[in-house]
Every structure is written in C-alpha cells, then in structure tokens.
Structure 1
Amino acid sequence: MELHVVINGRKDLAGQLYKQLREAIESGRLAAGMQLPPTRLLAEQLGISRKTISDIYAQLTYESFLIGRVGKGTYVNARPSKTLRKQNACELASADRIDAWRALQSPLPDPTLTGTVKREFVGGATSKGQFPHDEWRRCVQYALRQMQRSIGFYSHCEGLPVLRSAISQHIAFCRGVVCQDNDVVVCNGTQQALDMISRVVLEKGSVVAVEDPGYPPARLLFASHGATVVGVPVDQEGMRVELIPDHTRLIYVTPAHQFPLGMPMSLARRTALLHRAEALGAIIIEDDYDSEFRYEGLPTDSLQSMDERGIVAFVGTFSKTLLPELRLGYAVLPPAILEAVMKAKQFMDWHTSTLPQWALARFMSDGELQKHIRRCHGIYAGRRERILSRLNGDLSPWLEAIHTTAGFHIAALFKHPIDLKLLIELSRKVEVGLYSIEGFYYQQAPKNGLLMGFGSIETLDIDPALDRLRDILLQIDER
C-alpha cells in the first residue's frame, strides 16, 4: 500500500515532502505507531532520491515526529494531534433533515455506555460463558475454507442457499413456521429485517400499529421512514386488535412473548388480528425474538403458521440464541413482498457477510445450535425459577411478576409507588443493574416496574443481587 503524498513539479521536493509528512502526523492522519515506507520504496514511489528522503526522516525524528527502531523501520511517534475543523451541519442544504435524525432518541439503554456492574439484570443479553466457542471456531475454519474455494465475487443478496435451508428447517421444527427455503432472506439481525420491510411497505404518513408498551427500536425505525406510528394498548391476551386504527398499513407484534411484559397472545386474539389485517390490507410483522426458550404450557403456533392469506412476515434473530455481536437474523416473507424486499436488501448492503453465514450453516447442520439451545434452556429455566421464587417470596410485598412462559426476561410491576429512579441509582452502587419498563411505553401511561433479564447474570449472583434489592426497598419504602 502506497503512502499518500502528492508532489507538484520538481521544485523544493524535500520541502514539499517534509511539510506533507509533518501535517499528516500533526492532524492524526498518520496515527501513532504507524510504520512509514522504507526510504528505498518511498523514493521509487515519488521519484525522489533516497538520500533526500533519509534526510527528511532524520529531521522529523530529531523533532520527535518519528522514531526509528533498529532492524524494524521508522514509525510515527506518539504525540498530541491537532483537531481538524469539521464542516458544520447547519451549512448544508439538508441541515433540517440531519437535525431531525440527531433529535431521535436512542432506542434502548446500552449498559456498556454507563458501565456494567457485577450483577446485571439487563434484558436481551446472553452470557458469553454459555457460548460454545470451540464448536463455533471449528465452523469458522470451515467457512474460511468455503470462501477460499469461491470465485471472489459478491454473493446472493437473499443469503447463502445452505443457510436459508438450515433456517427454514429450524423454524419449521421449533416454531411450526410454514415456508420453503426460497421464502427466507438472511439479514443483519431483526432490525435490518424491519428496515427492509418498512422500505417496501411504507410511505410518508403511512399508519403503523405497534404494541404499547413495545419494542422502541422498531417504533423509532418506522417513524424514521416518515410513518405515523400508533401505539395500541395490550392486555393479558396481547394487542387489543379492536383498537388498531383504520388505514393501518403495517402491524408489528410479538405474539409468542410480548415485549416487554412477556405474556403470550391468546389464540382468539391471534385469529382476530389476522382477520383485522386482512380487512385492512395490512402486512403483519411477527417478531419471534426469543421464543425458542419455553418453560411451561403447551407450544403455541406461530402467527405465520395460521396465516392463509399471505400477510404475515415472520422475523427472527440469532442474537438471543447465540450472540448479539454476530448480527445474524432472517425474515420469512409472504409472496406479495418477497421480491421487493430482496431488492431492498440488495440496495442496502448487497448481502450479509458470507463468512458468518457459512459458519452458522455448518453450526446448524452439525446439530450444534440445538445442543446449545437445550443447554441454555436448562440454565435459563433455573435462573427464571430462582427469580420467580424470590418475587413470590420476600420481594412479594413490593413486586408482582407478570406471568410469562418463554424468553429470558421477566417483567415485574410494583404494587405501590416507589421512587424507581432512586432504587436504580442505589442498586448500581452495590453492583446490581436494574432497568425500568417505563421507557417501553409510547402513548399509554407507563406502569412502574422492572424488566429483569436473566440471560447474562450468573445463577449464583441472583440471590445476592435480590438480597440487595430487598434491602434497598426496605430502606426507601415510605409506606
């Protein structure tokens, strides 16, 4: 790779090179620790004598811009860099649009930004200690061999055929989804699936119905496309279908495990939802985010398996079963929007990276995903049981768990007013991470409660953490 230096004419060659190297180092474009080309190579690149370049390197070394390492070469020395002026957004014709994006709230709190604590009840996170690193490493090595055999061009925008097949078999087995391999589009997590569908279905002003409370990243994404987002209240049976407004074009639901409250949508409500969507000509997005982990009761059909009119898009992710950092998800699309969504995917990023696709396909075909889910299921079931035992025991004077049968979080509502902000603040001081459900409400009045994730907290940390929660509640309860 050549060093970017521009020589104009043949006058003062040494001065031109010296000035450009010094400015590049001062601005930070040449970062500390970066190795400069050997004098011979740079001389050939620029058509300057090797001695001239050696003299410039020597001068910059004397001024502490460079440092020489015997037998290794010449490197940029560590020093403070000047801050370059950036163009201000207000100077742009698109300033108003940029400001609108900047004003959007962050979808979900990121515990890594505020600093994690020892005992985290954060939702949607898994423990890396449960991830089968050795098995995954073997699958990545297989993926590298597959890529080595390829012609080195772009891949299928809808995903590798072998992975689409593995996904269709997996969700048919686990969730009863009715689909063919060609109905599946591989994407970078559920969020991209929602974005692709939104681009195809929505226009500015289109009405989107979402659960309230619900999943903020979905609601904010729909709004970013210019949609009019309406929060539809939920009760113990799920979204109240009769309150879905007329002219709704898209309906977003989490029927297997309502986010964040956790209850499943009843069969009667699912049937009503399908009839309502058909009457509206609306597409339903069924987000099946963590339903592989079910602990009690009989399995429930996916909404997609009940769909006879081709109006349900079933989206899922491997962020919950494996790791969020992998950014792998999928959408099972009805025929009416399949081709259009594939075009949208191609325009967005051409295709999802093939390396993790090959690895995941091998991981699934070898049965490692099912083994991992079974192993985690036993661990999560034990953690869930321990939290419920405490919520129904010594924490019951303050909290009541909402009944849920799947997933790896529990929503618990306070039975009487509590200063939740103070509770969360005091808990962090004793290394316990708690999270309110208030931010998941949109147009409905928020309830006072906690979202208690048990995917990342270690089993042995649960009781000590809940002991501290109980002690703080005893301290701040003003009844």
Structure 2
Amino acid sequence: MANSDQFRKANFVTDRWAELPLTVDRTLAVPLAAQVAAELRDAAVSGRIRVGERLPSSRTLATRLGVSRTVVTAAYDQLHAEGWVSGRTGSGTYLAAAPTAAPPQPADTGPATRTGDLVDLRSGTPCVELLDPAAWRRAWRAAGHRMPLVYKERRGEPAYLAAVAEHLLRHRGLSAANHTVLATSGTSSAAGELAAALLRPGDRVAIENPGYQRAVGAFRAAGMRVVPVPVDEQGLRVDRIPPDVRAVYCTPAHQFPLGCRMPAARRIELIDFARRTGALIVEDDYDGELRYDTAPLPLLATLAPDLVVHLGTTSKILSTTLGVGWLVAAPAITDAVVAHRETTGTLPAPAGQQVVVELSRGGDLSRHLRRLRRGMADRRATVVTELRRRHLPVQGDHAGSHLVVPLPSPAAEQRAIESARSRGIHLDGLARHHIGTPSTFGIAIGYATPAHADLGPAAAVTADCLAGV
C-alpha cells in the first residue's frame, strides 16, 4: 500500500508540473538559470505552486524545459539562497515561502499612484536577500558566545585583521601583513581618519567629480579643502589634478557613480603623478569583489603599496548592520591612524568584526561571495534586458550593484525621477553626486535592494519612465 501511495504521489507531481506553463527563451540576454528561477517565482506568486508543495526533481524539470540539469540545479540553488525553497533529505525540494507579488500596473499609459513604500532602485546598497539566513544567524550566535571585551583593540580585533588579510589575498589579490591592516567603520569614516591623522587643516584633496559625496563630507569635516577633478570613461582625469594636492581620493575598480573601470595605463599615470608630487592615493574599493565579466585589474595598492591607502567595506558585500571595513597601508600610515585613535578614543565596532570572523571561519563568507556574484549578475541582466527593450543606452562595467542610463539635461533627469516616483519607484539621479554645478546627468539604477520578485516589474516601469523623458 505504501509503495502504491508513493507511486500515485509521484505521478501527481509529474502530471501537475506538465500542466504548468513554464518556459525559457534562449534569445534573451538573461541566463537560463535566472529565467527558470524567475518562472518558478512567478508560479509561486500567482498561487500555481503552493507553500509546502514539492518541486520536481532537477532531472524532471530539465527534461520538461529542454535545458541541462545544471541549469535547473543553479536555479534551485538561487531560490534556496533567497529562502523560497528548502530541501528535505531523501524527500526532495519544497516551496518554503511565496514571494510577495508586485503591485499590478495600470492598463493605461498615464501616471499611476501606489500606496506603501517605494521600490528602492537607488545605488550604493547591499543585497541582503542573498545572505544565507542560517549562516548569518550562526555567525551572530558564535560571536555572542565570546566573553565581553575589557580592553579595546585600536587596530581592530586580531582575528578580524587576519580574516581581512585572507579575504583580500583570496578575492582581491592583495597581500597584506597584519601590521598593515586596520579595522575601520567604513570607507567614508576611514577617509576622515586619514585626513585627521596625516594631513593638516587647509590641505587640498583631489576627489572625482561626480563622486562619492560622503567622502567629500568626511574630508571637509576634517578641515580639508576638496578639489573636484573631472571623470571620463576611464575614471579620474589624472591630467586635471592640480600638482599641489596632498591626497587623491578615487574609486578605480568601479567609479562611483558612473560605473567605469580605470584601465591599467591610467592607473600607472596616477601612480607616476603621486611619485612626482608626493601626494597620497586613497583607493576606495567599495564593491571591488563584485565583478562579473573579466578578472579585475591589479589594485593600486599592489602597484604602489608605499603610496596607496586601500579602503574596503562589508557594507556592500554583506550588510550595513556590521558597520565595519578595513584600511591597508604602509606601517607608518597605520601607526599614525592608531595614534589618532588613542587621542580621540575612537575605534570600529568590535561586535561587527567578530561576526565577520565567524562568517570567515568555515567558509561561509567565501560561499556567500560566490552566490552574491551569480545573483548580482542575474539581477543586472534583468535590468539591462528591460532597458534595451526600449533601446535605452546603458553605461557601466559588468560589476558592482548599479548601472547608469545617461540623460541629456537636468530637466530630463528630474522628470524621470518624478515619473518613477509617481509609479512607486525610488530612483537616484547623477546631479546630486557632483561638487558644485552638475555637468553629467542620468539615472544610477541600483539593483541590489529590491526583492528579486519585485526587480523585474520595477525595472520595466523604470525603463518606461526613462523612455518617456
């Protein structure tokens, strides 16, 4: 009788899935695995798959869709990472939760209103949906088992510095000894510490324009005079940097906000400038781990470790909850920063450092980064597909968590932002990222924050708004 019941259940699952309209389109730029995952999400949203229902085996679904089993396995892995499905040993894969359906869009072409929170497509945020909840909870529990600290480690927790050194070597190709690594509270905080520890009030600091305005604020708060330097499709214009600046702040791996990468020749030009003038280079590698098309170029810090201060953060690859990052520089520089901390009593949060240590221990951090790269590449492809359907230009390397759609004027930028807001989408314009009068206009579209089920519809609405300006 038991065998007969199992046979009937197996046939029910097979027949049930044969009736569901799941399809993939090989002509799209979206990877097949991402399409399969999206089809399953849509089926869950519409109620065609119910919570607790068993999904077909990867072999069965691969045969049904005419794709390889690897494609279906990757789709199941993505859904598992997002928390929608769960596996039961010896039983199969089950729908654990149903994604929230995106609000339906009106049939007419006029502006629509939407109640509740806006879907956030602004740049500079992490993708917490791709964090493994079990690994996250496990790291916090393990960190909580440690006894409370008595003395503060101004350099950072030794285990954290070792974890950062291992992370940088494995994922960024930067060899860093413990005495050259400091824990920080993030890149903008580190910029302020560097200015206070190494520079004098009134010193001039060159910064990309458009660029990261929180770094601008940190340098100004430390008493520095900020000098805006233009950016082109290869990043910071070294030929436009005044020779009397004491430091140069830049984002060479993925220029913020334009999204371009500084090529090798421009990097060498910047290093030569620093050697001639004695300027310090501050390399903000805020999302350097997130590259999807080619291997990253060597970091400035590997090319000139005596001239470059390398900054990194957990806020883009994990969560802003942790509030920690790192600084890598020559010992004389790190010693000066530690001396400044001794006089001010400042240091980054030990709790966040301990969580990173626990994520690193056992490989959870590396596994998360592999999953994050796959997931973010799929998210980028989803947005790009919607934009290209409307023949909109896309700027920015296959990296990071945002891309740029250029626009011809500040008026066009503002119209796009207002149109999207009226339809429930929060967009980020380039104008606000300038020092002084804006010269470059467009929309920086972030694809990390929304739930995956919301991203496709939000990207379609955004593309409509941009096409309409």
Aligned residue number for residue 135 of structure 1? 135
Aligned residue number for residue 227 of structure 2? 230
Q: Partners in 1 of 2:170 and 2:428 — Cα distance?
A: 34
Distance 1:360 1:450, change over 3 A: same
Q: Write the letter of the residue equivalent to 1:186.
A: A
Distance 1:194 1:121, change over 3 A: same
Distance 1:392 1:462, change over 3 A: same
- Partner SS, residue 231 of structure 2: strand
- Partner SS, residue 327 of structure 1: coil
Q: Write the letter of the residue equivalent to 1:457.
A: P
- 1:392 deviates by 2.4
Aligned residue number for residue 394 of structure 2? 401
> Of 177, 184, 197, which residue of structure 2 is paired with 1:187?
184
- 1:315 deviates by 0.5
Q: Write the letter of the residue equivalent to 1:420.
A: E
Q: How does 1:99-248 map to 2 (within 5 A)?
A: 117-147=117-147, 152-248=149-245
Contact kept, 8 Å, 1:264 with 1:404, in 2: the verdict is yes
Q: Partners in 2 of 1:307 and 1:299 — Cα distance?
A: 17
Contact kept, 8 Å, 1:410 with 1:453, in 2: the verdict is yes
Aligned residue number for residue 460 of structure 1? 453
Q: Partners in 2 of 1:348 and 1:404 — Cα distance?
A: 40
- Partner SS, residue 411 of structure 1: strand
Q: Write the letter of the residue equivalent to 1:337.
A: I
- 1:301 deviates by 0.7
Q: Partners in 1 of 2:409 and 2:371 — Cα distance?
A: 38
The question of 1:431 aligning with 2:424 is answered yes
Q: Write the letter of the residue equivalent to 2:167.
A: H
- 1:321 deviates by 0.8
Contact kept, 8 Å, 1:201 with 1:250, in 2: the verdict is no
Contact kept, 8 Å, 2:211 with 2:433, in 1: the verdict is yes
Q: Write the letter of the residue equivalent to 2:444.
A: L
Aligned residue number for residue 44 of structure 1? none
- 1:316 deviates by 0.4
Contact kept, 8 Å, 2:401 with 2:446, in 1: the verdict is yes
CA offsets 1:23-43 (integer angstroms, 9 cap, x no match): xxxxxxxxxxxxxxxxxxxxx
Q: Partners in 1 of 2:466 and 2:156 — Cα distance?
A: 50
- 1:118 deviates by 4.2
- 1:444 deviates by 6.0
Larger Rg: 1
CA offsets 1:197-231 (integer angstroms, 9 cap, x no match): 01012212201000111100111211222222111
Q: Partners in 2 of 1:469 and 1:142 — Cα distance?
A: 42
The question of 1:352 aligning with 2:345 is answered no
- Partner SS, residue 324 of structure 1: coil
Aligned residue number for residue 325 of structure 2? 329
Contact kept, 8 Å, 1:213 with 1:442, in 2: the verdict is yes
Contact kept, 8 Å, 1:143 with 1:355, in 2: the verdict is yes
- 1:436 deviates by 0.4
> Of 374, 387, 390, which residue of structure 2 is paired with 1:391?
387
Q: Partners in 1 of 2:409 and 2:214 — Cα distance?
A: 29
Q: Partners in 1 of 2:191 and 2:343 — Cα distance?
A: 15
The question of 1:289 aligning with 2:286 is answered yes
- Aligned pairs, how many? 355
The question of 1:314 aligning with 2:289 is answered no
Which consecutive residues of structure 2, in runs of 5 or more, have no partner in the other structure? 1-114
Q: Partners in 1 of 2:460 and 2:141 — Cα distance?
A: 45
CA offsets 1:11-52 (integer angstroms, 9 cap, x no match): xxxxxxxxxxxxxxxxxxxxxxxxxxxxxxxxxxxxxxxxxx
**Could you say what the CA RMSD is over the residues aligned between the two structures, in angstroms?**
2.0
CA offsets 1:209-264 (integer angstroms, 9 cap, x no match): 00111100111211222222111111111111111112110110100000000111
Contact kept, 8 Å, 1:120 with 1:434, in 2: the verdict is yes
Q: Write the letter of the residue equivalent to 1:464.
A: P
Contact kept, 8 Å, 2:127 with 2:317, in 1: the verdict is no
Distance 1:174 1:462, change over 3 A: same
> Of 447, 466, 470, which residue of structure 1 is paired with 2:440?
447
- 1:267 deviates by 0.4
- 1:418 deviates by 5.1
Distance 1:473 1:209, change over 3 A: closer
Aligned residue number for residue 255 of structure 1? 252
Aligned residue number for residue 412 of structure 1? 405
- 1:132 deviates by 2.6
CA offsets 1:76-118 (integer angstroms, 9 cap, x no match): xxxxxxxxxxxxxxxxxxxxxxxxxxxxxxxxxxxxxxx9834
- 1:127 deviates by 3.5
- Partner SS, residue 209 of structure 1: strand
Distance 1:144 1:450, change over 3 A: same
Distance 1:142 1:184, change over 3 A: same
Q: Partners in 1 of 2:138 and 2:227 — Cα distance?
A: 46
Q: Partners in 1 of 2:350 and 2:286 — Cα distance?
A: 23
The two structures have a TM-score, normalised by structure 1, of: 0.70
The two structures have a TM-score, normalised by structure 2, of: 0.72
Q: Partners in 2 of 1:194 and 1:409 — Cα distance?
A: 23
Which consecutive residues of structure 1, in runs of 5 or more, have no partner in the other structure? 1-114
- Partner SS, residue 400 of structure 1: coil
The question of 1:372 aligning with 2:388 is answered no
Distance 1:145 1:451, change over 3 A: same
Distance 1:125 1:403, change over 3 A: closer
Contact kept, 8 Å, 2:312 with 2:327, in 1: the verdict is yes
